[in-house]
Amino acid sequence: MKYVLTLILPLMLFVTACEKTEYVVPNRTVIVDLRVRDWKSFDNGRTYEAPIDLPEYDSYTNEQGAILVYASFDGGRNYEQIPEVYEGISYGYVVTAGSILIELKSLDGGVIATLPASMRIKMVLIDSSAY
C-alpha cells in the first residue's frame, strides 16, 4: 500500500501543478459603406476599384494575422464572403498594410453596366502570432 501511494503521490502533484494559460485576443471588425461614387475604372468600365483606408490593419497584422472580408447588398442584413460572384459581377479584394482595395469585374469580360447603388463592406481583422 505504501508503495502504491509513493508512486501515485508524485504523479498527483505533477498533474495538479500544471497550469494552462490561454491568451485570447479579440478580433476587430471594421464596417464601411461604399456608394456608386466610390468606384473608379481605369479600363473603360471592365474593372472597377474602390480603395478603403484601413489603418487598423498594420504591417504586423499583415504578416502575422488575417482578414476576412464580407459584402452586404441589403444594408447589412445579410453578408456574403468575398471573393464572391453576385449578379454577374465578380467581387475580390487586395489588402496591404493600411488599406484594402475592393475590385469588381464582369464575368464575361465586358463592360459593367450597373454598379451596386450601395454596398456595405465588413472586414474582420484576426490577430495572431507565430509560435
Digitized pLDDT (tens) for each residue of the chain, 131 residues in all: 566 556 665 656 565 555 666 666 678 999 999 999 999 998 998 999 999 999 999 998 889 899 999 999 988 899 999 999 988 899 999 999 999 999 999 988 899 988 888 899 999 999 887 66
Q: Are 65 and 127 in contact (CB under 8 A)?
A: yes
Question: In this structure, what C-alpha cell is assigned to residue 111?
Answer: 463592360
CATH number for the domain spanning 109: value is 2.60.40
Q: Classify residue 15: in a domain, yes or no.
A: no
CA angle 63, 89, 61 (to 5 degrees): 10
Cβ pair 33, 41 in contact under 8 A = no
Residue numbers of the domain that contains 60: 26-126
Asked whether residue 37 is domain-assigned, the answer is: yes
Domain total of the chain: 1
pTM of the predicted protein model: 0.77
- Which residue type, as a one-letter code, is found at position 111? V
Residue 98 lies in a domain: yes
Query: Tens digits of per-residue pLDDT, 64-90?
Result: 899 999 999 988 899 999 999 988 899
Closest to 101 in 3D by CA, of 35, 33, 54, 36: 54
End-to-end CA distance of the chain: 44
CA separation for the pair 86, 47 (Å, rounded):
15
